[in-house]
Homo-oligomer: A and B are copies of this chain.
Amino acid sequence: MSDAKQVSPAVVRRLPRYYRFLGELLKVNVTRISSRELSEKMGLTASQIRQDLNCFGGFGQQGYGYNVEQLHDEIGKILGLDKCIDAILIGAGNLGRAIANHMSFDQRGFRLIGIFDQNPALIGDKIKGITVTSTDNIETFCKNHSPVVAVLCIPKTATKVISEKLIKSGIKGFWNFSHYDLLDNNPDIIVENVHMSDSLMTLSYKVHEFVDNNNKH
């Protein structure tokens, strides 16, 4: 009933969206849904949905569709949301603070256990019940608490040095908000880059393209 077949990167990227949509359906007490109905809600094809879900085993039932709650739970398990990964946050500036406060780490399979910053003015602050500590203490903290993931909310100039230090301290995964590209070609680590500035530039491109097309036709 669980792990099987090939799971393509494209499918992995869609899993959280399935999870979210199914969660919304649960909230309004929908118990079953067909791939066709779900496809209309999500803007995908029914075929793709069946293909995607079948990577992980037969979640559906012919003639009936999918049980929303069961499917939601299964995808949650596939994503690892029922487990808990210890994470630390590096950088307690505007963005780091927003992420610490705004993100429900515990609902996404993580637990935030430490926050670090270079700036003496921020050290000692409490964010979500965690005291901001000097980046000098990272190695010691990692030795004692073995966090697995680091969330990087630091300027791009600092990213290379800090990430190398973190890798040496045993960090395996990076959620990287800095504008520096942590390349994914290091086999010892997992990187998830969130390039908000790239997203904004893409929006610029798309808006200009849209406006130009509308002026033509």
Mark interface residues in A23-57 (1 if CB within 8 Å of B CB, else 0).
00000000000000000001100000000000000
Q: Chain B CB within 10 Å — which of A42, A97, A104, A200 has the most?
A: A200
Which residues in B have their C-beta under 8 angstroms from that of A93? Answer: 102
* Chain A residues within 8 Å of chain B by Cβ, number: 59
B-binding segment of A59-67, A105-113, A132-140:
A105-113
Interface residues of A in 78-103 (CB under 8 A from B): 78-81, 83, 85, 93-95, 97-99, 101-103
Of chain B, the residue at the smallest CB distance from A201 is B16
Known contacts A201-B19, A202-B192; decide if A173 and B78 are in contact (CB<8 Å): no
Main secondary structure on A side of the interface with B: helix
Contact pick for A207, options B80, B95, B98, CB 8 Å: B80
Report which A residues bind B (CB closer than 8 A): 12-13, 15-17, 19-21, 42-43, 78-81, 83, 85, 93-95, 97-99, 101-105, 108-110, 148-149, 172-173, 175, 179, 181, 183-185, 190, 192, 194-208, 210-211
